[in-house]
Amino acid sequence: MTTHPRIREQLDGQLVLPGDAHYDRARTVWNAMVDRRPRMIVRCAGVDDVVTAVRTARELDLEIGVRCGGHSVLGLAVPADGLMIDLTPMGAVTIDVERRRARVEGGALLGELDIAAQRHGLATTAGNVSHTGVGGLTLGGGMGWLARQYGLSCDNVTSYQVVTAAGETVRASRTENPDLYWGLRGGGGNFGIVTEFEFQLHPVGTRAYVAELSYPLERAAAVLRGWRDLSADAPRQATFAVSLGGGLATVGFVWVGAPAGEEALLTELRALGNPVAENVGDMSYVDLQRREDSPEGYSMRRYWKGHYVRALPDAAVDALVEHAADGIGVGLQAYGGAIAEVPDEDSAFSQRDAAFEYVAAAKWADPAEDAERMAIARRSAAALEPYASGAYVNALSDEGSAGVRRAYRPEKLARLQALKTAYDPDNAFHLNQNITPAA
């Protein structure tokens, strides 16, 4: 096994090799289906370690995987016989209350950002699951409960610090390397390793409100149509969401911010029909961000398929209900508002005209069920495909280049490929939803 003879002495962090006590823990990610064995894992203590790791991988011609939260359903952070750059030791979050800014190291999790900002009643768009990595979420776009008010996570980044494929450290903002700044806002991990984000924060208070009403599937289609129509005119503080699974359809919304109409919205929601169960009430914003965390940790096998839809006609609602199956969970989350107000050309992120994001997600424990569970998720997603307008790059799984073409419209993909040629012409960063260099 070839390793760089001097890498250990060059690191402030830790070099982990096969056979070391922490090796198996360091290579374990969220999807238990992933069982690849890197040749070496560099647990980076700072930017200099990231530079050393990238240069070492290039010298040894090793595939590079980059880990933050490890939530890629394909486990792209874990390269077989490659070099895994583990950013998780770099998790510091620094809040500038006066400027309403957060400086976030590249290995931080969303929960660390939420907690630090909420001490001051501040927040920024930061997903729905607190143990997701800030880096992976933000580089793909970054949906969350605040997005309809303040835009996606990537819309709230004011600057990035990046280690390039050449092992150089650069900054990107609207005024410094603006081409790279554009590409990092939705282009995924294709252009470098982000070691620090600076986010704009917003005064949202510490309160959230959740309204969820559950109905049996045989009554779900009519309720979903009414929920869809209410969503179209909802205030931006409200993000409408649906989940289907276990024989139930749960419809409702999450409200973040001061009380200003959520009770009236709940009254309209209740008018859709008598639910068999309700979950309604206040909670802290931090608890909202944690409530969808995976209690199973990294023990479950996982697979998903997703779409964007610009509209949800009655036929799509019928297909959604008809193909809700045991063994998967199906979800819809509303877009619009501030997301759609950002001009499409302003960032690499596409599909700003989406009305809803759809995901069919499966999780299970027994490897013998792999094929069956994945097939169920694919069938459910196939039923919605006639109504799809594209895909969210963070919700892609094993679609390969076809999925990338669904995530980015042709003219935008051509611009991303030109950017890739400029910053990573050898495609060193290809363990991602890959944008290849221009031919």
Distances (CA, A) of 311 to 142, 228, 349: 21, 9, 19
Tokens of 370: 């792999």
Asked whether 110 and 137 are in contact (CB, 8 A), the reply is yes
Cα 176 from Cα 180, distance rounded (Å): 9
Q: How far apart are CA 42 and CA 52, in angstroms?
A: 9
Q: At what angle do helices 370-384 and 314-322 cross, to 10 degrees?
A: 170
Q: Which CB contacts under 8 angstroms, 24+ apart, belong to 128-132? A: 128/289, 128/292, 129/71, 129/289, 129/292, 129/293, 129/294, 130/289, 130/290, 130/293, 131/69, 131/71, 131/293, 131/294, 132/69, 132/71
Whole-number Å distance between alpha carbons of 280 and 350: 34
Amino acid (one-letter) located at 394: N
Q: Is 198 helix (H, G, I), strand (E, B) or coil?
A: strand
Query: How far is 64 from 87, CA to CA, in rounded Å?
Result: 13
pLDDT 10s digits, 44-72: 999 999 999 999 999 999 999 999 999 99
The string of DSSP codes covering 362-403 is EEES-GGGHHHHHHHHHHHHHHHGGG--B--GGG--S-THHH
What are residue 146's phi and psi, to 5 degrees? -100, 0
Nearest CA among 276, 288, 284 for reference residue 251: 276
Contact 69, 131 (CB under 8 A): yes
Name the maximum alpha-carbon separation found in the chain. 69
Nearest-CA neighbor of 324 among 409, 245, 438? 245
Proportion of the chain in helix, strand, coil states, percent, rounded to 5: 35, 25, 40
Helices and strands of the chain, counted as H and E runs: 15, 18
d(CA 356, CA 333) in angstroms, rounded, equals 5
Torsion, CA 28, CA 134, CA 395, CA 142, rounded to 10: 170
Using an 8 Å Cβ cutoff, are 306 and 358 in contact?
A: yes
User: Residue 383: which region, alpha, beta or left (left: phi > 0; alpha: psi -120 to 50)?
Assistant: alpha
Task: Tell how strand 202-203 and strand 122-123 pair up.
Answer: antiparallel
Question: 0.85 cut: is pTM over it?
Answer: yes
Walk along the chain (439 residues) and give the pLDDT tens digit of each residue.
556 668 989 999 999 999 999 999 999 999 999 999 999 999 999 999 999 999 999 999 999 999 999 999 999 999 999 999 999 999 999 999 999 999 999 999 999 999 999 999 999 999 999 999 999 999 999 999 999 999 999 999 999 999 999 999 999 999 999 999 999 999 999 999 999 999 999 999 999 999 999 999 999 999 999 999 999 999 999 999 999 999 999 999 999 998 999 999 999 999 999 999 999 999 999 999 999 997 767 889 999 999 999 999 999 999 999 998 888 999 999 999 999 999 999 999 999 999 999 999 999 999 999 999 999 999 999 999 999 999 999 999 999 999 999 999 999 999 999 999 999 999 999 999 999 999 7
State the amino acid at position 18 in one-letter form. Answer: P
